[in-house]
Structure formats: C-alpha cells, structure tokens
Chains A and B, each alone.
Chain A
Amino acid sequence: MPEADSRQHDREMLEQLAALDVNSPERETLRAALIERHLPLVHFMARKFMDRGEPLDDIVQVGTIGLIKAIDRFDPALGFEFSTYATPTIVGEIKRHFRDKTWAIRIPRRLQELGVQVSKARDELTHALDRSPTPAEIAKKLDITVDDVIEAMEANTAYNTVSLDAGADDEGPGLGNTLGEWDEALDNVEYRESLKPLIAAMDEREQTILLRRFFDNKSQSEIATELGISQMHVSRILNKTLTQLREALSASD
C-alpha cells in the first residue's frame, strides 16, 4: 500500500474508532488492529534506546503501552497526523521507564535497601501520625541514626538526578552536559514564552502534581495518596518538572 493510502487508511480507522461506543465489541477489534498496524513505529523508537542496558523486549513493551495510550487519546477532529501525536507519547513512556525502573548510577546495595526501608517507614508513619514524620521519628522506628535516614533520602534522589541527565545524553550524563544545552537555549530567542505552553506540554500527571503542590498547597504525601503512587515518585516528578520549567524559563530571561 503506498504511504499516502496507508495514512488515509489510518485516518479512517481512527475516525471510526472515535465514533464508536466505548463498550462496543467492534471498537475492541478496531483498536487491536490499529495497535498492530503501528507496532513497527514502536520497534523503530525502541531501537533508539537499545544501548542503555535494558532488554529490547522490555523497551518495546513499555513503548507499546505508549502507543495504546496514544490510540485511546487521539482526537482525529483536531486534524493532526496520528504518527505526529503518537511518537512523543511512545518516547515519553519509554523515557519514564528508564527514569522509574533503572538506576542510572550504582548506589551501594546497603543504601538502596536502606532507601526502601526509609520510604516504607515514612509512608507508615505518615498514616500513623496523620502528618509527615521527622527524620528523627523514622530513625527511631528503624533503629538507625538520623544521618542514615538523610543518607538514604539522598541516595533515592541521586537516582533521579543522574537519570535525568542521562536522558539528555546517554554517553556523558554529567551536569556539565545539561549546562551545555542550557547555553544553547539561551541563544534561542524563540524560547521567549510564558509558562502556559510549557505546562500544557507536560503530561497529565505532571500537571496534576504541579497543580496540587503549588495551587492546592497539598503536601507530597497527600498527592502520593491521591494518585496512588509513592511519595518518592511524587518527589521525583516535582524535581523533574521544576528543573524543566526552570531551564526553559532561564532561556527566556
């Protein structure tokens, strides 16, 4: 099938999908066909992340989740090409996988385990006390020192910081690298934009977390409970989005 015809076919299928009732069996078949048709796109994107030490199959799998999300969220009425819409969604899902599931630097095993224990104690104490605990309270519960608690906290964050940088460049994930890009952006006058489009470009979860934290003034733990994810995860996402916003905004100073 020539490419233009194939695109036209995609468009028709997506329009049909959008028109069908959510529960209709026809929709399920159409959706499955659309997913299958676009698997090569997922494979293509996944291969770009191959040299990062994760099995290709895993990357394809998370990429496929991105594809499914893209199919479910795509609105043909907006007039965009589906592939334009799907590509960032797939890549986003793959990057999230790298951010959440892989350790960018080797944290000593002892610290990794301590980190898990501290996170767990923190969640338990948050429920028990109905507020965020102090490091001293966590230290007492786990029978470790306050310094250990802080060290574990740091270790949990180190994972985040480095993997963020690794996202910018998989070869040299140094902070200097990130700064290099930042300088380039400084020259880029087109970055003179207000916050709105930056926030609009974030995914829904990032937007929700920013909103809850800074407009509804909820604590990280409260947001974590609301979204059914760990506080540590909320912290990572906040760190990430703030860094992104700051960098994008510094460019427009």
Chain B
Amino acid sequence: MATIHISVPAQADYVGLVRSTSAHVAAHCDLTMDQIEDLRLAVNEAFAFLVDATSNDNIDITFTVDGSELAIVLQGPTTGQEPDRSSFGWTVLTALVNEVSSSRNDAGNVIVHLTAKAGVSA
C-alpha cells in the first residue's frame, strides 16, 4: 500500500496540478486509460466543489494505492458547502468513478472521497 499526500491552495489555478498528479498515481494502479481519463475528470469536478477563492486554507489530497484500487480523499476548507447531490457536478462524479461520497469532519472541513477500481467499470 502506498500513500501520497499533496496540499495545494484552494484556488482553481491548482486544479491542473491535482489532475496531473491523479493521472500519474493512477498509472501505477492497473487502471485502464479510459478509467484514468475518467478519474481526471472526476478529480476536476471534486476539486471544483472545494475551491474557495476567498479562503486561505489549502485543499489536502491523499491518494491511497492499494493493489488494484485507488482511493482519493480531497479535504477542502471549513468554509465550503457539502456538494449538492442533485447537482450536475455530482451526477458527473458518480458516473466517472466506482465510489463517491462526501462528508464533513469534526473540524468542519468538507471531504470528498473517490474510489476507482481496476477491472470494474464505473
């Protein structure tokens, strides 16, 4: 099992960095090219939910590679809103990865979890 952490300002400018990192990590996880493309889009959407131009907080992203499964946890600023389940972005997310959920931790940070599994289409 490998764990990778990155932390970037909660600004839209950093979405490219997060997307690229996701693709690199995913490549070491036996995901197919299609799944990796989907994952990039999913990370893009999840990151967009957490971006807060007014916040000085960072978005912390944790990638956990466990065999053929890649879990990505994005922890956003405390000022954020939990993603709206009826929104277009959320529908896109659920179509792109195997599992997706969101929650708020005790400190009040909004957290989005994504999981992609090799050999299982979303």
Could you tell me which A residues sit within 8 Å of B by CB distance?
Answer: 122, 131-136, 138, 146-147, 149-150, 153-154, 157, 161, 175-176, 179, 195, 213-214, 217, 219-221, 231, 235, 238-239, 242, 245-246, 249-250
Q: Pull 29 A–B residue pairs with CB atoms less than 8 Å apart, ordered by A.
A: A122-B33, A132-B32, A132-B33, A132-B34, A134-B27, A134-B33, A134-B118, A135-B33, A146-B27, A146-B28, A147-B27, A153-B36, A157-B40, A175-B13, A175-B16, A176-B13, A179-B53, A213-B95, A214-B95, A219-B34, A219-B121, A220-B37, A235-B37, A239-B41, A242-B45, A242-B92, A245-B88, A249-B87, A250-B48
Q: Say if the beta carbon of B109 comes within 8 Å of chain A.
A: no
Q: Which residues of A contact B34 (CB under 8 A)?
A: 132, 219-221, 231
Q: Which residues of B contact A146 (CB under 8 A)?
A: 27-28
Number of cross-chain contacts by CB at 8 Å: 73
Known: A134-B31, A135-B36, A235-B37. A217 touches B87 (CB 8 A): no
A131, A132, A246: which contacts B89 (Cβ < 8 A)? Answer: A246
Per the bound structure, the CA–CA distance linking A246 and B121 in Å amounts to: 24
Q: Say if the beta carbon of B44 comes within 8 Å of chain A.
A: yes
Q: Which residues of B contact A122 (CB under 8 A)?
A: 33
Majority DSSP secondary structure for residues of B touching A:
helix
Closest to A161 in B: B16
Q: What is the 8 Å Cβ interface bit string for chain B, positions 14-32, against chain A (1 contact, 0 not)?
A: 0010001001100110111
Which of under 10, 10 to 19, 20 to 34, or 35 or more describes the interface residues of B? 20 to 34
Closest to A249 in B: B88
B23, B45, B89, B122: which contacts A154 (Cβ < 8 A)? Answer: B23
A154 to chain B, nearest CB (A): 6
B19 to chain A, nearest CB (A): 8
Contact B32 A131 (CB under 8 A): yes
B28, B33, B89: which contacts A138 (Cβ < 8 A)? Answer: B33
A104 to chain B, nearest CB (A): 14
Per the bound structure, the CA–CA distance linking A239 and B91 in Å amounts to: 15
Q: Which residues of A contact B31 (CB under 8 A)?
A: 134
